Structure 1
Amino acid sequence: MQDFNWKKLQNGSDIRGVAIAGVPNEDVNLTPAIAKILGQSFAIWLSQKLDKPTSDLLISVGRDSRLSGLELMQAVMEGITSLGSQVYDFAIASTPAMFMSTVTDGFNCDGAIMLTASHLPFNRNGLKFFTAQGGLEKKDITDILNLAEKNEFVISASQGNITKHDFISVYANQFVTKIREAVNHPDHYEQPLQGLKIIVDAGNGAGGFYASKVLEPLGADITGSQFLDPDGTFPNHVPNPEDKVAMASICEAVVKHQADFGIIFDTDVDRSAAVDQFGKELNRNRLIALISAIVLKEHPNSAIVTDSITSDGLAKFITEDLQGVHHRFKRGYKNVINESIRLNQSGQESWLAIETSGHGAMKENYFLDDGAYLVSKLLIELAKSKLAGKSLTDLIANLQEPAESEEFRIKMLVEDFKTLGEKVINNLQDFSSNQTDWQIVPNNYEGIRVSCTADDENGWFLLRLSLHDPVMPLNIESNIQGGVAKIANRLFAFLQPIDGLDLSAFQK
């Protein structure tokens, strides 16, 4: 392990690596041996954090459906128990469920680990860590990796025990209870979703439980639900609400089975999206608008914290139609969550932090980004709407949506890509300020956002640095057909003379 690059495993506030060989140029760096050390490192970190000996710790461990998950999970548990700590084995679980095991009576685990790499390809895997205070921060992961690199663990004479628990059923029942109480159906209290056909697409990830353990007990007809069985080869489509093929699949299923609602989860269920009865997507800006409408009915004047690429129409809808505060912040689910927490601490109520990716966290739910919680809030409103003879999507009838929306991912071909990216953004600020029909948008927290007011553009763009990769994502929206191409062409002409950029993304 002397030459092993532990830092390469860090991905912000998670750990991610290559767990399966066979993909060109992707060497395996997350092996069972590495996973065991990471289990030991987390136990030591937790012991220091809680000021408890490792022999007094109780840690829960779960995984998604990835092919490497079972072996890596076993290694993590061996690492933890080697230091005398007790382990609860939850088998296949969701990332939010793992956090909930730290705050649910009867479990109250000191810490939790989820083995997942979210929507990444089948050969990847990773670890997410939790305490009762929530997910770990970037610095915590750095500290855990430093402990792993030192590898100075004192093996306990008395090994800890591994006990299996069906926690996903406990977690699912929390939603069943919540939905029953919130809908409070006058005739069908136990089954408030009776008469509704709701389709779940789990993409062969960990979210299949929601159909059988939440929807069916509530009386919903789940006929047409698809890809519920865990399968780490992901044979049908990528479990990712941002993936066009995945969204097309759930939309098609809703129309084919004449369902009232469709739900799609990512691999580890911390993200979700939905589909209305007409097969229209309720994701990205539409999902944010819908949950914002629900939140602002419950908590008037709340700040809704979103990432930086939300549309102008959404901002107008939140501020003017819903009379809320739209706080557009940085990309990254931890960024929007921490900003929402910060606003609450500063005196501005903020009940929702949500990314266009489908990561949504609510103040009422520990600011946990939980895809199952998010759709449960939507289902409560769906059932109430049916009782009132209305449609759920009536809530977003006034949302103005762009005619076109596109993301271009501009690769940077130099080693010091951050310096190049910052130079490009600075130059673009100078260039944009000299364009009579472009205005730099104030109060922008990352990159540069510009409003494009020309009649044949009528939209905006945002150019920023990726959080981790040598890429500059460029998001463009326009309220007229052909507007994105007009804005893109002007930006291409600006970027073309700059060395070190791969502009092939513009060719599409």
Structure 2
Amino acid sequence: MVPAASRPDLDQVFKAYDVRGTVPDQIDAELARATAGAFVDVTGADRVVVGHDMRPSSPELAAAFAAGASAAGADVVMIGLAATDQLYFASGHLDVPGAMFTASHNPARYNGIKLCHAGARPVGRDTGLSEIRDRVAAGTTYTAPRAGEVSHRDVLADYVDHLLSLAPVTGRRLRVAVDAGNGMAGHTAPAVFERLTDIELVPMYFELDGTFPNHEANPIEPANLVDLQRRVLEERADVGLAFDGDADRCFLVDEQGALVSPSALTALIASRELAREPGATVIHNLITSRAVPELVTELGGTPVRTRVGHSFIKATMAETGAVFGGEHSGHFYFRDFWRADSGMLAALHALAALAESDGPLSGLLAEHQRYALSGEINSTVDDPGRVLEQVRATYAGRDGVTLDELDGLTVSHDDWWFNVRPSNTEPLLRLNAEGRDPATMERVRDAALDLIRSHA
């Protein structure tokens, strides 16, 4: 065990929702092994499931974690290459805690660990991750009288079965372009789409390559969707799907090559879930378009607003029994998927809705795109708290304006709103704005940005 004093600052690696850093200076096999022992101790697990993505460092780190968990007395089920939602499926299906080795959309030099309790319940800073970090920092060694057994199991077919049982795709034939970004959708998409006989698949960058040779596997950045937009138009595809590196997020491009707002997809999926379960609760985070709670209410459902972040979404879903939750970052959560997020399940809902309709995707989504959204804009600031106070002072007391601090600061008006919230890990403020039309949004966005950056 590496002495705690010689380790990098663990607070830089153990973040709000996961463990993440550069390899090997911040994350290495020894840290993975130590984290496994602490994870078994904190969760009390006698069995854990472990998966990993396609990054060059992932197999070694996953094997080290398995060795550490085994030494601590837990049996280990290795599922090998997996998308993050495939690991969540395994955790839920087997009802055991899990560990997924991935750094999602981060560059190749990064890796990390997403941890969950049994049933895919999240492990975050307030739900066990701080305790795990403290045990790792203390250098405690976990050696059980009997080492656990390490076995291997392929859960891909069971994962596909479950997804298709939740969102079967039937109806007219569709041509679908899929950009896997050389990430784990290149592993899961072929298994899913080979079962969809009425789908003509146009694959893009399905080769698993953790160096990301074509573009970053981060579809929230428009530059990374340019190839997909072009391919949709060239192939006359009905829809384009883009996944991030670990395939837990999905973004859409319509038949005209236009980017689809994740809020519009949230509203579409919410309408499908409410048709299946009238009156159900739907979760949306506070940077999601106003169109989402409006539509949920119009359809007889109950919208519930939460902070940004999967741990808040999942906790609120558990408290309310919500059937579905969506985030504007492209994460979509399903009660019937153990309240976990699945990019592939969101994609299947979109395909199912499109296959059942007569028109194009742009027409199907028109009702769900009522307002103009800015997207997230980051500003580097020395003192985020001081800047937030200045924004608050500037807008407090204005006619028709309300403020709330559910997550950062949200400033609302009948015609517009914007939210400014600090990053958990960097000296950044993140701005999202929406207006009744593009001109209103741009005016509100620019005024907020000027205020933020003039006090940075």
TM-score, reference length from structure 1 = 0.80
The 5-angstrom pairing of residues 463-502 of structure 1 reads 463-491=420-448, 494-495=451-452, 498=455, 501=456
Aligned to 2:341: 369
Secondary structure of 1:11 counterpart: coil
Secondary structure of 1:96 counterpart: helix
Q: Distance in 2 between matches of 1:267 and 1:493?
A: 34
Aligned to 2:28: 31
Contact in 1 for aligned 2:175/2:238 (Cα 8 Å): yes
Is 1:378 paired with 2:350? yes
Is 1:271 paired with 2:229? no
Matched letter for residue 424 of structure 1: V
Contact in 2 for aligned 1:261/1:277 (Cα 8 Å): yes
Is 1:353 paired with 2:325? yes
Q: Distance in 2 between matches of 1:46 and 1:481?
A: 49
CA deviation vs aligned residue, 1:361-403 (integer Å, no higher than 9, x gap): 1222211111122222223333333xxx455655533234434
Aligned to 1:46: 43
Q: Distance in 2 between matches of 1:318 and 1:172?
A: 29
Is the alpha carbon distance of 1:195 and 1:490 closer, same or farther for their aligned partners in structure 2, counting shifts above 3 Å? closer
The counterpart of 2:140, out of the listed 139, 152, 167, is 152
Aligned to 1:447: 408
Aligned to 2:129: 141
Contact in 1 for aligned 2:284/2:304 (Cα 8 Å): yes
Contact in 2 for aligned 1:59/1:85 (Cα 8 Å): yes
Contact in 2 for aligned 1:66/1:233 (Cα 8 Å): yes
CA deviation vs aligned residue, 1:3-46 (integer Å, no higher than 9, x gap): 123333211131112115xxxxxxx2111111111122222223
Is the alpha carbon distance of 1:287 and 1:176 closer, same or farther for their aligned partners in structure 2, counting shifts above 3 Å? closer
Secondary structure of 1:208 counterpart: helix
Is the alpha carbon distance of 1:267 and 1:495 closer, same or farther for their aligned partners in structure 2, counting shifts above 3 Å? closer
The 5-angstrom pairing of residues 3-402 of structure 1 reads 3=5, 4=7, 5-20=9-24, 28-47=25-44, 57-104=46-93, 108=94, 110-133=96-119, 134-139=121-126, 140-156=128-144, 159-179=147-167, 182=168, 192=170, 195-320=173-298, 322-344=299-321, 350-385=322-357, 389-391=358-360, 394-402=363-371
Where in structure 1 do 4 or more consecutive aligned residues deviate above 6 Å? none
Secondary structure of 2:174 counterpart: coil
Is the alpha carbon distance of 1:175 and 1:495 closer, same or farther for their aligned partners in structure 2, counting shifts above 3 Å? closer
Contact in 2 for aligned 1:406/1:484 (Cα 8 Å): no
Structure whose alpha-carbon radius of gyration is higher: 1
Q: Distance in 1 between matches of 2:73 and 2:140?
A: 15
Secondary structure of 2:224 counterpart: helix
Aligned to 1:428: 391
Contact in 2 for aligned 1:314/1:400 (Cα 8 Å): no
Contact in 2 for aligned 1:317/1:400 (Cα 8 Å): no
Q: Distance in 2 between matches of 1:471 and 1:277?
A: 35
Q: Distance in 2 between matches of 1:275 and 1:496?
A: 32
Is the alpha carbon distance of 1:397 and 1:324 closer, same or farther for their aligned partners in structure 2, counting shifts above 3 Å? farther
Is the alpha carbon distance of 1:147 and 1:461 closer, same or farther for their aligned partners in structure 2, counting shifts above 3 Å? same
Matched letter for residue 430 of structure 1: A
Matched letter for residue 114 of structure 2: K
The counterpart of 1:460, out of the listed 417, 432, 448, is 417
Q: State the shift of 1:149 in Å.
A: 2.3
Aligned to 1:410: 379
Matched letter for residue 317 of structure 2: S
Q: Distance in 1 between matches of 2:166 and 2:416?
A: 41
Q: State the shift of 1:489 in Å.
A: 4.8
Matched letter for residue 154 of structure 2: D
Matched letter for residue 440 of structure 1: T
Contact in 2 for aligned 1:272/1:371 (Cα 8 Å): yes
CA deviation vs aligned residue, 1:253-274 (integer Å, no higher than 9, x gap): 2222122232222111221122
Is the alpha carbon distance of 1:256 and 1:363 closer, same or farther for their aligned partners in structure 2, counting shifts above 3 Å? same
Which structure ranks higher in relative contact order (CA pairs < 8 Å, sequence separation ≥ 6)? 2
RMSD: 2.7
Q: Distance in 2 between matches of 1:144 and 1:479?
A: 46
Is the alpha carbon distance of 1:132 and 1:311 closer, same or farther for their aligned partners in structure 2, counting shifts above 3 Å? same
Contact in 2 for aligned 1:7/1:142 (Cα 8 Å): no
Secondary structure of 1:268 counterpart: coil
CA deviation vs aligned residue, 1:121-155 (integer Å, no higher than 9, x gap): 22111111223232223230111122222333253
Contact in 2 for aligned 1:193/1:218 (Cα 8 Å): no
Q: State the shift of 1:287 in Å.
A: 1.1
CA deviation vs aligned residue, 1:185-214 (integer Å, no higher than 9, x gap): xxxxxxx47732222221111112333211
Gaps of 5+ in 1: 21-27, 51-56, 184-191, 345-349, 502-508
Contact in 1 for aligned 2:268/2:368 (Cα 8 Å): no
Aligned to 1:187: none
Is the alpha carbon distance of 1:152 and 1:279 closer, same or farther for their aligned partners in structure 2, counting shifts above 3 Å? same
Q: Distance in 1 between matches of 2:203 and 2:137?
A: 45
Secondary structure of 1:295 counterpart: helix
Matched letter for residue 329 of structure 1: T
Q: Distance in 1 between matches of 2:454 and 2:328?
A: 32
Is the alpha carbon distance of 1:330 and 1:154 closer, same or farther for their aligned partners in structure 2, counting shifts above 3 Å? closer
Matched letter for residue 303 of structure 2: H
* Count of aligned residue pairs for this structure pair: 450
Contact in 1 for aligned 2:379/2:453 (Cα 8 Å): no
Q: State the shift of 1:492 in Å.
A: 5.3
CA deviation vs aligned residue, 1:233-265 (integer Å, no higher than 9, x gap): 111122223121222222222222122232222
